[in-house]
Amino acid sequence: MSKEIISYNFTDPHTRIYNLEVFNSPQRKYRGEHFHREAEIILVLDGEILLHISNDKFALRSGQSVFIGRNIIHTVLPSSQKANILILQAPLSEIEENVEARSVDFSLKNYILENQPANFHFFNEDGNEFSDILYKINEELNQKTNHYEAYIKAYTLLLLAHLKRTGLIQKPVVSMSGRSLEKLNRISEYITQKHETKLSLADLENEIKYNKFYICKLFKLNLNTTFTEYLNYVRCKHAERLLISTDKKVSQIADETGFSSSQNFIKVFKEFYNCTPLKYKTMYQSDKDKGGLI
C-alpha cells in the first residue's frame, strides 16, 4: 500500500482533473492499494471499472460515479470492458468553510479537518444529479472554451454543496468548547510562527503564560495528541511544501523546519507519511511527470 502524492493541474481551485482510459494490458500498470489526503471522485463515461475499497469489490459502469473520502484505502482496476473515466481529486479542506466563524489558525484548522472521519458513496441511479455535474465538468475539460476553468471551479463547488446537502460531507466536528478552541488557537499561532526554532514546552509556557501541564492537557483532551506530536505535525507540513516546491537538500529542510538533525527529521517524517522525505519527493515528481495512473 502506498500514499499517492497528488500534483494539481488546476491552480484555482486546488484540484487535479483528468480523463483516463482503463483497459487490461500487461504493459499498462495500475496503482495498487493506496490512499491520499485528497477526496477522489470518479465518473465512468463508458465501459466498466472495478473498484476495491477496504475488503469490498464493486463494478462501476457507464453513468455511475463514486465519492471516496480522504485517506480511504482503495484500488481502481480494469474489468473485461475497456472504460473511459473522469477523475477529480481535491483537498476538501482547501474549499471547505472555516471550522468556526471566527478566525482559526491555518495549522490548527488543517489538523482538525484531517482527523475527521471520512466515508465513500456510490451514485448508481440513472441521471443522478451528482453524475450530471461531473458530465458538465468533463465537457468543459475537453472543449476548453473561454473561461472553462472558472466553470470547472463553479461546478466543483456545486459538487461540494451536493455532498453537504446529502450529508456525505458534514461540518467538521469540534467537540471542544469555544474557550478551549480559543486557547489552542493562540498556542497554534505561536507554534506556526516559531516552529523553525528549537521550540520547547518551556518556551511556550513563558510566551503564552499557560502552565505547561495545562498546555499538555489542552492538547490531549481536545485533539487527542501531545504538544510534541502537534509541533512535529506543523514542522512536517512545512517540510512537505519545501520538498515538493524546492530543490533543497533534506539536511537543509530539516534545519529550516526546526528538527534537531536530519536523522530526527527523517524518522518523524516517516511516522507521518509512511516514507522518507526523499521518497516522498520522488513519488510526487513521478506522479507529476506521469499525470497519475489510478
Q: What is the DSSP letter of 171?
A: P
Sequence spans of domains, the chain: 2-93+122-170, 178-286
- In whole angstroms, what is the distance from residue 120 CA to residue 66 CA? 7
Instruction: Examine the pLDDT at 118 and tell me if it is beyond 90.
Output: no
The residues with which 89 forms a beta bridge, in sequence order, are: 16, 40
Give the pLDDT confidence score for residue 101 in this predicted structure. 42
Between CA 268 and CA 284 the distance in angstroms is 19
CB atoms within 10 A of CB 206: 10
Distance between CA 139 and CA 135 in Å, rounded? 6
The DSSP 8-state label assigned to residue 172 in this structure reads P
Asked if 104 contacts 98 with a C-beta cutoff of 8 angstroms, the reply is yes
pTM for this prediction: 0.70
Q: What are 79's three cell numbers?
A: 474489468
Same fold, 2-93+122-170 and 178-286: no
Residue 59 has which C-alpha cell?
Answer: 463494478
CATH architecture group of domain 2-93+122-170: Sandwich (2.60)
Question: Which fold would CATH assign to domain 178-286?
Answer: Arc Repressor Mutant, subunit A (1.10.10)
Give dist(CA 137, CA 8) in Å, integer.
16
On the question of a cis peptide bond just before residue 117, with omega within 30 degrees of 0, the verdict is no
pLDDT at 172: 58
DSSP 106: H
pLDDT tops 90 at residue 83: yes
Q: How far apart are CA 69 and CA 280, in angstroms?
A: 21
* Range from 7-11, 58-62, 109-113, 196-200 carrying the lowest mean pLDDT: 7-11
* Backbone angles phi and psi of 58, in degrees to 5: -135, 150
- The dihedral of CA 251, 255, 259, 261: what is its sign? positive
Can you tell me the mean pLDDT for 178-202?
Answer: 91
Give the pLDDT confidence score for residue 90 in this predicted structure. 84
